[in-house]
């Protein structure tokens, strides 16, 4: 279904872009526009600054949620569900720790005043697809100054990113992998997703960096979200959960191989990935977990795997992707669906509670918005990506997490190499 029908703007006005897209959006992005970019979103959606703001922050004991500065005592997902049916869409993100908290899963405690949820109501947006642009608005007709702002040129400082250094060593990672394999042998769990943060010094213009990385990676679920003092640059390939009417879809990813641009080498690597018993076993377990999670909010007998282990290729990586579909129960609201599906099974493991407890005890830091959820919500419908391949940029630093599923067949050296491969997308050009 086209994005215009899902977001239902009150007014649509064609716009002739004065300069090539997305370079012409630089000024609006620097002013704080939220950008969802890619085929998974149904084109590029540039949510213009303004609109109500919903935030949740950790106070050391619980999440404090405010809507335009007014505190609400409810749980964050319940407040999000109550706020979003209001005649206009919302764009934003939520963190892994907040998702775990809402789902009753173990997690590392975030730091004081850590932002765990940030959603902004969209009253005006620019939509671009197939070279055609429209100004959308909810309420009053769109203003005329958008074209002028797109026509303006601006000078962007060249982004500078220092070497991304892992916050733990290869030997520490090897020990963590072997500890998970031992737990699997003991019957504690089947697969665990072990993640590692990389950090680099950062300076320059975030917008220029985002344009460069998006052009290189061409992700279906790209995003640039300025969230207070933190900016998220997402280059995700994974839809964690989408809803249109009563239709629910999740597309878990498990299994990675390099994407080099060499057709022959990539074909060989892709075929090897499809036949790899470790990757196939890991992927099957995650698909079963997603089926179970969807089954908690679906009409009985409607959960099905419509596509299993399809190979999808991107400029820098190849993945095995499945599609799991279901029909939502009529009484299943946004909050219940999010608590059932988040955090996504592909970034936790199975069974979820046992795995989340283990990784909370061994990972180097709280994950933050990495592995949470990111996207749009509109009156019961939503499209949420899993923020993998996602940089969290703040205070002169860039934090970039990456990880992989550990099974009994995992080899620590190969898992470490996969982490290094997944950092290659974070390079200014």
Q: Give the integer Cα–Cα distance in Å for 134 and 248.
A: 28
Q: Give the integer Cα–Cα distance in Å for 219 and 65.
A: 31
Residue in this structure with the two tokens 């899902």, named with its chain if needed: 6
CB 360 within 8 A of CB 106: yes
Does the active-site annotation cover 254? yes
- The DSSP bridge partners found for residue 327 are 247
CB 233 within 8 A of CB 210: yes
Cα 187 to chain centroid distance, Å, stands at 31
CA 166, 168, 173, 176 torsion: positive or negative?
negative
The active-site residue, picked from 55, 81, 199, 254, is 254
Q: How far is CA 163 from CA 217, 310, 337, 423, 429, in A?
A: 19, 34, 39, 10, 14
Residues 22-53 as b/e (b if ≥16 CB within 10 A, e otherwise) read bebbbbbbeeebbbbbbebbbbbbbbbeebeb
The active-site residue, picked from 238, 279, 282, 383, is 238
| Residue 325: count of CB within 10 angstroms of its CB | 18
Q: Which residues are catalytic?
A: 238, 254
């Amino acid at each position: 279904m086209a994005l215009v029908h899902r977001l239902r703007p009150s007014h649509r006005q064609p716009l002739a872009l004065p300069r090539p897209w997305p370079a012409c959006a630089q000024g609006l992005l620097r002013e704080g526009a939220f950008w969802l970019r890619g085929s998974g979103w149904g084109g590029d959606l540039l949510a213009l600054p303004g609109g109500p703001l919903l935030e949740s922050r950790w106070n050391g004991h619980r999440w404090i949620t405010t809507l335009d500065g007014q505190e609400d005592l409810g749980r964050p997902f319940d407040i999000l569900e109550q706020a979003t049916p209001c005649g206009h869409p919302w764009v934003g993100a939520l963190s892994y720790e907040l998702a775990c908290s809402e789902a009753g899963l173990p997690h590392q405690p975030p730091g004081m005043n850590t932002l765990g949820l940030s959603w902004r109501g969209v009253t005006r947006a620019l939509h671009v697809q197939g070279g055609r642009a429209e100004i959308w608005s909810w309420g009053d007709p769109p203003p005329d100054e958008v074209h002028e702002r797109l026509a303006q040129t601006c000078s962007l400082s060249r982004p500078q990113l220092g070497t991304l250094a892992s916050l733990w060593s290869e030997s520490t990672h090897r020990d963590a992998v072997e500890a998970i394999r031992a737990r699997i042998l003991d019957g504690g769990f089947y697969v665990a997703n072990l993640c590692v943060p990389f950090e680099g010094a950062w300076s320059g213009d975030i917008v220029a960096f985002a344009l460069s990385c998006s052009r290189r990676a061409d992700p279906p679920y790209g995003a640039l979200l300025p969230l207070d003092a933190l900016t998220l640059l997402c280059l995700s390939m994974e839809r964690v959960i989408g809803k249109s009417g009563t239709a629910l879809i999740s597309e878990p990813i498990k299994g990675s191989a390099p994407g080099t641009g060499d057709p022959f080498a990539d074909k060989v690597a892709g075929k090897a990935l499809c036949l790899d018993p470790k990757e196939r076993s890991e992927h099957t377990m995650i698909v079963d977990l997603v089926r179970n999670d969807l089954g908690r909010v679906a009409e009985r007998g409607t959960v099905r795997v419509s596509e299993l282990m399809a190979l999808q290729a991107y400029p820098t990586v190849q993945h095995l992707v499945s599609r799991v579909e279901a029909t939502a129960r009529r009484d299943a609201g946004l909050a219940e669906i999010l608590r059932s599906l988040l955090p996504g099974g592909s970034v936790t493991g199975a069974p979820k509670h046992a795995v989340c407890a283990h990784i909370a005890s061994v990972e180097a830091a709280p994950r933050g918005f990495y592995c949470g959820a990111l996207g749009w919500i509109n009156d019961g419908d939503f499209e949420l990506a899993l923020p993998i391949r996602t940089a969290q940029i703040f205070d002169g630093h860039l934090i970039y997490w990456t990880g992989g599923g550990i099974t009994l067949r995992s080899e620590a050296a190969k898992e470490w190499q996969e982490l290094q491969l997944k950092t290659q997308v974070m390079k200014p050009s």
